[in-house]
């Protein structure tokens, strides 16, 4: 166990704080005469509170007294489907009057420590994965109020806590500025990439004059089609490519001895402008089906379903995995020989096609989709064949410059995150500011807290006797009789 800095004391949160789980939601409290705003896990983010969507429910007056938040309270996410989100904290500064909190949050309230020091410490524990490692549950990871109350903390003297907060927040504010600037670069470069491909695939880099180019009507809303340079034309995807859907998994036939196992691409593998092949599943299909759906170099993969803004996204296949096929939620467009470079089609689908699919897709409750018959109607700009390779080279050169800026910004974010963890680690190990021998030791503060708290009366733990215990008891009684 590491040695503590002078004046520090090893303690638990419950030694100097009140730790409480929030009030449980219930249908009977959706309406009532004493409605109050309340915070839930969705209102706590890594950068602080998110108060755009605050819910209301009915509380009794006693419940309001118990669950009302006060300035300086810290709320932490009690549970999450993602272990890394468990214990994410934020500081409450009375942003909303009479606000309470729900049982997806744990409240830590202290009158004997610096709340900002404590909030930064709890955020550090969450960032370094300590809460995730100690969480419980399958599927949903729970921290638990009792577990948090027993959480160990090396507590500095109160005066040193104030100095740590001042120094730490100075460092963190600089890091916040750097990270914000880098995220702005990433956003701008991502937008620039989209503009590069969008403009180039509709003739925006051509010096030729633009003319109205008609496309045959098919009873669908194409929206305003951009004017194309002389020599370009509009065509429907189905007129220039063979477009098919993929295989539907039949669980009943997965053990068929005549079926063969092949790798296949899912929606998660097909991203906008790239393929993510780190996790490729396999499926058993008939040999004939495997041959029909086998991907070939230059095939363009387009997503059929998902979020509305992800319809039609995709990229080209370059034979990365031999014998690979695709599932039914991924379309394959195989361009007719010599009509259009596959990369131009993929870039076009990710730009113009994204907007067109949003316009023509179908929305269910939680999922958007576009049918095979509709995706075949996607308008595609066809440049003259003799300029297509030069156009691809032009786009790739500019994308490489944008990608270099993106990679630099993303690497900067990783370095900033590492520096943030290092600064926090120094703060909570007594290395960020100097210790002052004149400070009241933390042990004295903890002793004073213990002396002013009422003595705890241990609760008798009773449990219902098991059936075996009942039988043993009955046997003893019968023996005595």
Share of the chain residues as helix, strand and coil, in percent rounded to the nearest 5:
40, 20, 40
Residue 78 inside a domain? The answer is yes
Whether the predicted pLDDT of 205 surpasses 70: yes
247 phi, psi to nearest 5 deg: -85, 140
Whether 303 contacts 311, CB under 8 Å: yes
CA distance 277 to 270: 9
Tell me the per-residue pLDDT of 414-446, one tens digit each, with 9 for 90 and over: 999 999 999 999 999 999 999 999 999 999 999
Torsion of CA 121, 126, 128, 129, to 10 degrees: 150
What DSSP string runs through 286-324? -HHHHHHH---TTPEEEE-EESGGGTT-EEE--SSSTT-
Tell me the percentage of the chain whose pLDDT exceeds 90.
75
CA distance 269 to 113: 49
pLDDT for 464 equals: 52
Give the relative orientation of helices 342-350 and 352-360 as an angle to the nearest 10 degrees: 50
pLDDT for 223 equals: 86
Whether the predicted pLDDT of 13 surpasses 90: yes
The reply to whether 103 and 225 lie within a common domain is no
Positive or negative torsion for Cα 472, 474, 477, 481: negative
Chain Cα centroid distance, residue 443: 41
Q: How many CA atoms lie within 13 A of 12 on its CB side?
A: 12
Whether 394 contacts 205, CB under 8 Å: yes
The reply to whether 121 and 231 lie within a common domain is no
Q: Hey, which residues does 136 pair with through a beta bridge? A: 142
Residue 210 inside a domain? The answer is no
User: Is-above-0.85 flag for pTM?
Assistant: no
> Sorting pLDDT into bands at 50, 70 and 90, what band is 27?
confident
Residue 467 inside a domain? The answer is no
Whether the predicted pLDDT of 406 surpasses 50: yes
CA distance 243 to 356: 17
The reply to whether 375 and 394 lie within a common domain is no
437 in helix, strand or coil?
coil
Whether 348 contacts 207, CB under 8 Å: no
The reply to whether 241 and 359 lie within a common domain is yes
Give me the mean pLDDT over the 216-241 stretch. Answer: 90
The reply to whether 312 and 410 lie within a common domain is no
CA distance 120 to 117: 5
Residue 171 inside a domain? The answer is yes
> Sorting pLDDT into bands at 50, 70 and 90, what band is 250?
confident
Give me the mean pLDDT over the 210-226 stretch. Answer: 81
Residue 199 inside a domain? The answer is yes
Q: Hey, which residues does 77 pair with through a beta bridge? A: 105
Give me the mean pLDDT over the 265-290 stretch. Answer: 94
Whether 445 contacts 158, CB under 8 Å: yes
The reply to whether 224 and 357 lie within a common domain is yes
Residue 101 inside a domain? The answer is yes
Tell me the per-residue pLDDT of 354-381, one tens digit each, with 9 for 90 and over: 999 999 988 887 788 999 999 999 999 9
The reply to whether 137 and 167 lie within a common domain is no
Q: How many domains does the chain have?
A: 3
CA distance 86 to 79: 5
pLDDT for 138 equals: 83
Tell me the per-residue pLDDT of 444-464, one tens digit each, with 9 for 90 and over: 999 999 988 776 555 544 445
Neighbour count for residue 134 (Cβ, 10 Å): 17
Q: Give me the CATH number covering residue 261.
A: 3.90.220.20
Positive or negative torsion for Cα 172, 174, 180, 186: negative
Could you give the maximum distance between any two Cα atoms of the chain, in Å? 111
The reply to whether 122 and 35 lie within a common domain is yes
> What Rg do the C-alpha atoms of the chain give, in angstroms?
31
Residue 4 inside a domain? The answer is no
pLDDT for 172 equals: 96
Look at the block and give the residue holding tokens 């076009």. 348
pLDDT for 218 equals: 79
> Sorting pLDDT into bands at 50, 70 and 90, what band is 1?
low
334: left (phi over 0), alpha (psi -120 to 50) or beta: beta
Give me the mean pLDDT over the 320-331 stretch. Answer: 95
Give me the mean pLDDT over the 297-323 stretch. Answer: 92
The residue count of the chain comes to 481
Positive or negative torsion for Cα 418, 424, 430, 435: positive
Give me the mean pLDDT over the 235-242 stretch. Answer: 96
Average pLDDT score, the chain: 90
pLDDT for 455 equals: 62
Whether the predicted pLDDT of 321 surpasses 60: yes
Look at the block and give the residue holding tokens 């969705």. 42
pLDDT for 216 equals: 80
Whether the predicted pLDDT of 303 surpasses 50: yes
Residue 181 inside a domain? The answer is yes
480 in helix, strand or coil?
helix
pLDDT for 220 equals: 86
Domain containing 426 equals 158-203+385-434
400 in helix, strand or coil?
helix
pLDDT for 471 equals: 41
pLDDT for 480 equals: 29
The reply to whether 346 and 415 lie within a common domain is no
The reply to whether 196 and 294 lie within a common domain is no
Torsion of CA 216, 218, 219, 225, to 10 degrees: -50
The reply to whether 129 and 101 lie within a common domain is yes
The reply to whether 50 and 176 lie within a common domain is no
Give me the mean pLDDT over the 80-104 stretch. Answer: 94
Look at the block and give the residue holding tokens 């100075």. 170
Whether 442 contacts 9, CB under 8 Å: yes
């Amino acid at each position: 166990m590491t040695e503590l800095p002078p004046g520090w004391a090893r303690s638990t949160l419950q030694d100097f704080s009140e730790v409480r789980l929030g009030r449980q939601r219930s249908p009977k409290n959706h309406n009532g005469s004493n409605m109050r705003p309340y915070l839930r896990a969705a209102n706590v983010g890594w950068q602080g509170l998110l108060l755009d969507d605050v819910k209301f429910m009915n509380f009794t007056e006693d419940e309001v007294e118990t669950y009302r938040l006060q300035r300086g309270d810290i709320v932490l996410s009690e549970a999450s489907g993602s272990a890394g989100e468990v214990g994410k904290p934020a500081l409450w500064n009375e942003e909303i009057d009479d606000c309470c909190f729900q049982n997806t949050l744990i409240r830590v309230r202290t009158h004997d420590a610096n709340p900002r020091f404590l909030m930064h410490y709890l955020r550090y524990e969450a960032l370094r994965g300590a809460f995730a490692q100690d969480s419980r549950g399958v599927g949903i990871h729970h921290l638990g109020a009792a577990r948090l109350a027993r959480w160990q903390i090396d507590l500095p003297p109160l005066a040193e806590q104030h100095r740590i907060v001042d120094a730490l927040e100075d460092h963190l504010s600089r890091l916040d500025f750097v990270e914000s600037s880098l995220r702005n670069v990433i956003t701008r470069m991502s937008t620039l990439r989209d503009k590069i491909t969008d403009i180039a695939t509709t003739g925006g880099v051509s010096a030729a004059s633009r003319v109205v180019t008609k496309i045959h009507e098919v009873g669908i809303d194409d929206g305003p089609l951009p004017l194309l340079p002389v020599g370009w034309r509009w065509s429907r995807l189905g007129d220039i490519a063979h477009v098919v859907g993929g295989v539907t998994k039949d669980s009943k036939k997965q053990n068929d001895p005549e079926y063969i196992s092949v790798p296949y691409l899912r929606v998660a593998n097909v991203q906008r402008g790239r393929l993510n092949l780190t996790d490729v599943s396999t499926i058993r299909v008939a040999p004939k089906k495997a041959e029909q759906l086998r991907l070939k170099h230059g095939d363009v993969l387009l997503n059929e379903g998902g979020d509305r803004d992800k319809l039609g996204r995709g990229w080209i296949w370059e034979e990365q995995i031999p014998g690979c096929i695709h599932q039914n939620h991924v379309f394959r467009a195989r361009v007719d020989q010599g009509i259009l470079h596959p990369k131009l089609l993929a870039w076009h689908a990710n730009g113009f096609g994204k907007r067109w699919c949003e316009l023509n897709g179908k929305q269910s409750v939680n999922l958007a989709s576009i049918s095979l018959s509709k995706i075949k109607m996607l308008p595609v700009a066809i440049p003259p064949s003799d300029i297509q390779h030069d156009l691809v080279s032009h786009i790739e050169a500019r994308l490489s410059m944008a990608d270099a800026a993106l990679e630099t910004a993303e690497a900067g974010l990783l370095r900033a995150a590492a520096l943030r963890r290092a600064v926090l680690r120094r703060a909570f190990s007594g290395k960020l500011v100097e210790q002052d021998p004149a400070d009241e030791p933390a042990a004295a503060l903890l002793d004073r807290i213990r002396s002013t708290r009422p003595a705890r009366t241990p609760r008798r733990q009773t449990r219902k006797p098991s059936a075996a215990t009942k039988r043993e008891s009955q046997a003893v009684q019968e023996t005595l009789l």
